Homo-oligomer: A and B are copies of this chain.
């Protein structure tokens, strides 16, 4: 089969790899229908993180179950499924508590030694605990619906997690820092799921502003740094009780804390790939709360699948380009140059 492989910074190719096989009775083999490129995939592309040569890439996919191990009772070949971007064993103390991202035996696709989603098929460990079946799902669904479902494997669930971690409540005011796919999905989650009344999106990119407004952003602030903080205060006074930080750089954190009102809560889903730290003193003096991080997607999937299938939720506009898997290098390039918000891949 064909799959994307990482070669070096800026070098990703599609090449032949062995077909996946069942290794454990809890495994399933899934044929990928759509996968995509994540902002975090760009770290190795940009040489921020080192990655093994010829390692598999991609951690978001929807697909069709092809084979199941003998212990996978709730899935059958032909089922149309969504995978969370990291998997858990479904039985440990953390999984039982809904924190699958901390599973004691879990892992993530595209990690060393694991299959990746940017390919034709992959082996899914602990399949019964992780794959969410889409009722009446099939590869023949309208493209928009396929992309909406694909978004649930990471960005939509992560945006919702940020909103939950920020404690967003019905009728509240929220500031979203970051106009990547996760930030935009946080706007949608804040409005369509958590019931926020006012959502201020920080974005200076016209196409992203458009998606943000379509997702329910009531205000868009194009400034950066202190000017952005001032602009938000001009709009909403003392600041927001709820802030979603969806970038993860020292500058974005300064902005996130600057637009929060004292006593506010920052939901942190921008993975801090340049490892910023935050000073405690302002947090303590201003009674600010900070809560991260990696979304336990499996915890959110059943409800999100129901909403998408019911037509209540459509995050598909975060995908503004779709390319064949063979064009993987162009897909990375488009996102790296911010010419696409998020690129879907057809194997």
A residues with CB within 8 A of B: 93-94, 97, 99, 101-102, 165, 237-238, 248, 253, 262-263, 265, 268-269, 271-272, 275-281, 283-294, 296
Contacts and interface: CB of A to CB of B under 8 A. Distances in A.
A265 B293 CA distance: 13
A290 B287 contact: no
- The secondary-structure label for the interface of chain A is mixed
A276 B287 contact: no
Chain copies in the assembled complex: 2
Contacts of A93: 237-238
A279 B277 contact: yes
A290 B289 contact: yes
Contacts of A293: 283-288
A296 B238 CA distance: 18
A105 to B, nearest CB: 14
Nearest to A237: B93
A277 B285 CA distance: 14
Contact of A288 (B263, B281, B291): B291
8 contacts: A99-B262, A102-B262, A248-B284, A269-B284, A284-B292, A285-B294, A290-B290, A290-B291
Given A165-B289, A288-B292, A290-B291, A283 B263 contact: no
Nearest to A253: B280
Contact of A280 (B262, B277, B284): B277
Contacts of A276: 280
Contacts of A289: 165, 289-292
A265 B285 CA distance: 18
Nearest to A262: B102
A278 to B, nearest CB: 6
Residue among A269, A271, A287 facing the most chain B CB atoms (10 A cut-off): A287
Contacts of A275: 279-281
Contacts of A97: 263
Nearest to A267: B289
B280 A99 contact: no
